[in-house]
Structures are given as C-alpha cells and as structure tokens.
Amino acid sequence: MLVTVVAVILALGVASRVLADRLRIPSVLFLIFAGIAIGPEVLGLVSSETFGSGLSAMVGVSVAIILFEGGYHLRLRKLRESPTALSRLTTVGALITWLGTAAAVVLFLETSLEVGLLVGALLIATGPTVVGPILQVVTVRDHVASVLEGEGVINDVTAAILVVAVFEVLIAGDGGLISLVGDFAWRLLVGLAFGALVAAAVWLALNQREFTPETGPLHARLIVLAGVVVAYAGAETIASETGIAAAAMAGFVLGNVDLPYHEDVIDFLDDISVVVLSFIFVALAALIDFQDIMALGLAGLAIVVAITMVIRPAVIYLSTTSERFTHTERLFLSAVGPRGIIPASVATLFAVELQALGRPQEAQLLAGTVFLIIFATVVLQAGFARQIANALEVSPMRTIIVGGGRVGLSLAERLEQDGENVLLVDEAPDAVETARKRGLRAIEGNGTEANVLERASVSEAKTVIAATPDDDVNLLVCQLAQTTFDIETVASRVNQPENVEAFEALGVRAIDLSMATAWSLENVLERPSLSAWMNELGRTGDVQEIEVTASDLVGKPIAELNAEIPDGCIVGLLTHRDGTTEVPTGGHRLREGDRVTFLGQMDAVDRAIKRFHPHD
C-alpha cells in the first residue's frame, strides 16, 4: 500500500509540474491542490498514519536537498545586487516578522505568548520550495530575484532553528531570553560549521581525484549527493534541527568555488529537487486538516490579513529604503511572500509534541494557523504571482542575443550591467557553459528555429540581436524575429560590408563589424582620451539615453536643470520628438517626449536617470 501511495504522489507531483510549465503558473499551486485531493478531506488515500514515524526523516532529507540546491544557486555576485536589503530582510525583518506574527496570534486567538512565539518563528520562513517555482514563471530584475532567493534560503534556516529553540527553552523548558538566544546561536553555529566542513571535504574529493570524461560527471553527482546527506545527518547527530543549516551552508560554499563538473552538478540538483519537492509538497499538503483551520474562524482571517497586508509590507519597505528598488518592485515583494515546506513539516512535528505535553488545544491552534497561512499565501500569492507582476509591470522585457561568441558574450555582459534582462542563445554547449559560468542566462539551441526562440520566451522580448559570425544565420534570425514574432527592435552584427544593404532593407539595425573596428582604431589614434574612456564603460563610466518622464522638469531650460544633475554627469545629447538630435545649450528647454543622453560616472548617471525618468 505504501509503495502505491508513493507512486501516486510522485505521479501527481510530476503532472503538476508539467501542467504548471504549460500554463506558466507556479507549480506549488497545483502541488498543494493535488495533496488536498488525495488527503483525508477528499479521497482519503493519505493520512498522518500513512508514513508513520518515517515521515519526519523523509521530509528532513528532502528539505536538505532542496536547501542545498537553493544555497548552490546563491552566488555572491547575485547577493551583492542588494546587500543592504537582504541583510535587513534576514535580520531585522525576520525579527519583526517573528514578533509581529506572535503578537497577532496572541491578540486574535487569545493564546499564550509562548505559543504565539512558536507560530511566529515558524512563519518567518518563505523558502526556495515556493520562491523557486515563482521565479521560474515570473521574470524580475536581478536585485529583486536575489532578495527573494536569499530570503528564502536564509530565513528557512532561521525559522527551523528558532522554532526548536523556542519550543525547548520556552515551552518544554523554563528558560528565558538569554537561554533562548544561546540555544539559537549554538544550533546555528553547529549547522553552519558542519556544512562548511562537509563542503570542504566534497571540494577536496572532486579536485584530488583524476576522473575520466565518461565517469567524471557521474562521480561528481554521487559525491555531491553523499555530501548533502552527510551534512544533514551529521549536523542532526550533534544537535537537532541543525541539518538544514548544514545543507544550505554546504550548498552555498560549493556554489561559490571552482567546482569540477559544475554544469553537471547543477543539472543533477535541478532534477532531483523537482522530484523531492513534488513528493514532499504533495505529501504534506495531504495532511492539512481543514477542521483545525475552520476552528480558527474570523480570527484566522484576521491573522492572514495582519501577516500579508501589514507585517510583510512593513518589513519590505523598511528593508529596501536604501536600495535601487522602484515603488512597484517593493509592492511586488510585499505581495509575494508565500510559506512552504519548513512551516508545514515543523508544524506537524510540534503539534504532536504539544499534544504529548497535554496541550491539545494549543496543538490544534498551531497546526490550524500555520496551514491556513500556507494555504492562503500559496493560493493567493504564489498562484497569482505572474498576474501580480504583470499588473505592477515589474517584469522587464527580455533582450535575446543569438550567438554566444566573443561579441555576443561581451554585449550580454554590458547589457546586464545596464540592468537589462538578457538571454543568450547558442547551439554550442561550450558557449552556453561559458556564459553560465559568467553569471549570464543562456540556453542551448539553434536561434534560426522558431521553437528555440519560443523556448527563450521571445514573446516577452523587446529586442533580438543576431551576433553570430555567419551573416546568413544572422539574416535568418532577423527575418524570423520580425515576420514571425513581430519584435519591436531587431539588430545584427554584419561580418561582410557588402551584406549591410540586405539587412537594412529588412529594417534591421545593422552594425558593420569592419567599420566599427575601423572607427574604434581611429578613436585610438585621433581621440585617445575618448577611446580610453569608452573602454572603461561598464566599469567606472556610463552613457545612457532615457525619455524625460518627470513632469516637473518639462519646460525648464538646461541651465536651470544643472542643479538637478549630479556631479560627475553631464547632458551630452538632446533628442526631440521629431527625431532631431543636438548638443544642448543652457537655453534649450525640455519638452514632453524629449530624450536625454547622460555621460559620466556610473553612479552619477544612475542618479540622473532616476531624477529625469522616475520609475513610479
């Protein structure tokens, strides 16, 4: 019977993922409904007795794998996109979420402070189990994605350890605040230290041995999988509920070092995470007891409102004050904070522990509150994440570059630095791997084929650029982008000067490679200072053209606007609505629809853009 149940859960999990990919809806929405369908509330195939005492072990290892994979994808480069926001969100933000949720639970459900703090600790977690599926279907800028991903991994670890400390110190024991802080710090230290130790052992194992090309990828996958299990089980042996901290730390360390067979490890982790996520989410969703949820009544709805519409927005707005987040991006982060596997699995465990202590009402309150928040946030926030993103217009349109050679790769890196959402397409596996190692998004495929461009979400692209060394290929890419997908802007590298007219006849913005090289060489000889500065673009300097959308600046002369332009930045060009471009004088007045080109230091140009072209 158990084998049949496991097979049904896996089948539902995989089917949910396939359906989610087809409909472009986060898979967790289908997973939770699949779990409810086979649970005691509907078909009754799965109950709390189905897995017996083995459920906690299965959940633990599964969560360890998922958090290891989440930590592996947390690159330092991505975390540096929003360091202040992420640090605030995972420290002060986590504290506010914990205490604010505890206060709401105590106020609306009239329970003890200890139970309120236990529920609050559980609901700190968002987690990669719910954030990952959202980011697979919702495209956001890197600094927004890095905050969601970093918060998910770090706060999952925080919540899992804090809830154990609260239970053992404040509920099962008789300790106070100092004991609580000490217990939390000890468990966190054990988990992080053991995870780093295991990561070092895995790195040594993969770097000290000579693998053949045939066996290397397989051995790398097996060693990494063994590392995940050892990190989790070893830390758990030292102190309970430290295993997921060890797994997350091991993944983070290995993801930020030069690891052999890196791409093979990524593919393996992605595949195994899909399986365990599907299984465990469906299994835990089947344990939702709607009687516990219904028993909360209107007080439960009040807690949902307090957490999602008061506490979450407050935390986001306090955490993102000094970063480059737009108003709509902050609204999106406020509206998307679903809870996942950590609260579900740990709530199930401690509901049983509370019953064992002779506190059945509090056990029912704990399970009901946590599962209500999970259900509400997964359905409303994860389920409608794409619609929320579209309504707030936080999804940047994509720039697709076909050709991952030196030209395409350099262009992609420059556009990424300018905040563009870039995707490289190349049919050479080595080119794709090189792009990914540099932190770029890339897919393998022939850019002249419609199904490959569809896989690259060309329907969401504003620009397609052909950058291969073959003009025939580039011309086919441009024709496909224009005639089949009606892309707004199509540009191409032209390798042979005699082919420029063919591209321009299509309305393609053609860049003659030989002329561009000649112009650059002329600059080196005739304008050496300008050439040196242009080569520094993307590191210290920047040039950006934007439309003036700040209504309070329209009608003012350039001379008066100099006070609005940061030091280290100047207005180089002024382009009017009729297409004429000129170098502005102090007497030129800005008109509605004008475009301004700023030149200067990168941070100064960025501040000027925000003043002349505010996002909100």
Topology of domain 1-392, CATH: Na+/H+ antiporter like fold (1.20.1530)
- Kindly state the average pLDDT of the residues 516-530: 65
Confidence (pLDDT) at 121: 93
Across residues 291-300, what is the average pLDDT? 90
Nearest to 1 by CA among 70, 71, 51: 51
Q: Using an 8 Å Cβ cutoff, are 368 and 295 in contact? A: yes
Please work out, in degrees rounded to the nearest 5, the angle formed at the alpha carbon of residue 382 by the alpha carbons of 121 and 86: 55
CB contact at 8 A, 278 and 10: yes
Query: In whole angstroms, what is the distance from residue 163 CA to residue 225 CA?
Result: 27
Closest alpha carbon to 220 in 280, 262, 186, 170: 262
Nearest to 222 by CA among 271, 255, 268, 279: 268
Give the residue, 355 or 309, on which the prediction is more confident: 309
Among 145, 265, 159, 163, smallest CA distance to 205 is for 265
Query: 1-392 and 540-612 share one CATH topology?
Result: no
Find the distance separating the first CA and the last CA of the chain, reported in whole Å. 57
Q: Which residue bears the tokens 């899909």?
A: 274
Amino acid present at 521: L
- Tokens representing residue 467 in the block: 């950058």
- Statement: residue 210 has pLDDT above 90: no
Split at pLDDT 50, 70, 90, the class of 616 is very low
513 touches 495 (CB < 8 A): yes
- The answer on pLDDT for 515 being more than 80 is no
The pLDDT tens digits of the residues spanning 437-461 come to: 777 878 889 999 988 888 887 887 8
Q: What percent of the chain has pLDDT over 70?
A: 93
The pLDDT of 280-292, averaged and rounded, is 81
Q: What is the pLDDT of residues 224-264, one digit of tens each?
A: 999 999 999 999 999 888 998 999 999 999 988 888 888 78
Is residue 151 a contact partner of residue 145, using CB atoms and an 8 Å limit? no
Q: What does pTM read for this prediction? A: 0.72
Q: Nearest to residue 508, comparing CAs of 500, 517, 516?
A: 500
For residue 23, the cross-strand partners are none
Q: Give me the pLDDT at residue 519, please.
A: 62
Count helices and strands in the chain by DSSP H and E runs: 29, 10
**Amino acid in position 249:** M
CATH number of 540-612: 3.30.70.1450
Share the mean pLDDT of the chain: 84
pLDDT in tens, 354-406: 888 888 888 889 889 998 998 899 888 988 888 898 888 787 778 999 998 88
- Residues paired with residue 547 on neighbouring β-strands, in sequence order: 595
The two tokens of residue 178 are 């100092």
Pick 136 or 163 by higher pLDDT.
163
What span, in angstroms and rounded, lies between the C-alpha atoms of 300 and 303? 5
Give the torsion sign (CA, 251, 255, 259, 261). positive
Share of the chain above pLDDT 90, in %: 26
Task: Report pLDDT for 440.
Answer: 80
Tokens of 52: 């017996």
Q: What pLDDT score was predicted for residue 540?
A: 65
Q: Which two tokens stand for residue 331?
A: 């609204």
Fold of 398-517: Rossmann fold (3.40.50)
Whole-number pLDDT of residue 290? 84
Please state the rounded mean pLDDT for residues 296-324: 90
Find where tokens 């019953």 sit: 355
Kindly list the domain boundaries of the chain, sorted by start residue: 1-392, 398-517, 540-612
Measured CA distances, 361 to 115, 251, 293, 345, 356 (Å): 11, 39, 13, 19, 12
Phi, then psi, of 38 in degrees rounded to 5: -95, 0
pLDDT band at 533 (very low <50, low <70, confident <90, very high): low
pLDDT of residue 123: 93
Q: Which helix (H) or strand (E) segment is 27 a member of?
A: helix 27-38
Most confident of 296-310, 515-529, 581-595: 296-310
Does pLDDT of 520 surpass 70?
A: no
Mean pLDDT of the region 569-582: 79
Q: Backbone phi, then psi, for 581, in 5-degree steps?
A: -125, 140
Angstrom CA distances, 40 to 48, 345, 368, stand at: 9, 17, 15
Residue 528: which H helix or E strand, with range?
helix 528-535
Over residues 40-84, the pLDDT tens digits come to 888 888 877 777 777 778 888 888 888 898 888 887 766 776 778
Distance (Å, whole) CA 436 – CA 361: 52
Tell me the pLDDT tens digit for each residue of 154-197: 998 898 899 989 988 988 877 788 889 999 999 999 999 999 99
108 against 83, higher pLDDT: 108
What sign results for the dihedral spanned by CA atoms 251, 257, 260, 263?
A: positive
Residue 581 CA: distances (Å) to CA of 104, 384, 531, 553 = 59, 44, 22, 19
> Which of 324-338, 360-374, 458-472, 543-557 is predicted least confidently?
543-557
Residue type, 479: Q
Residue 103's pLDDT band (boundaries 50, 70, 90)?
A: very high
Per-residue pLDDT, 95: 95
- Tokens encoding 30: 């289908």
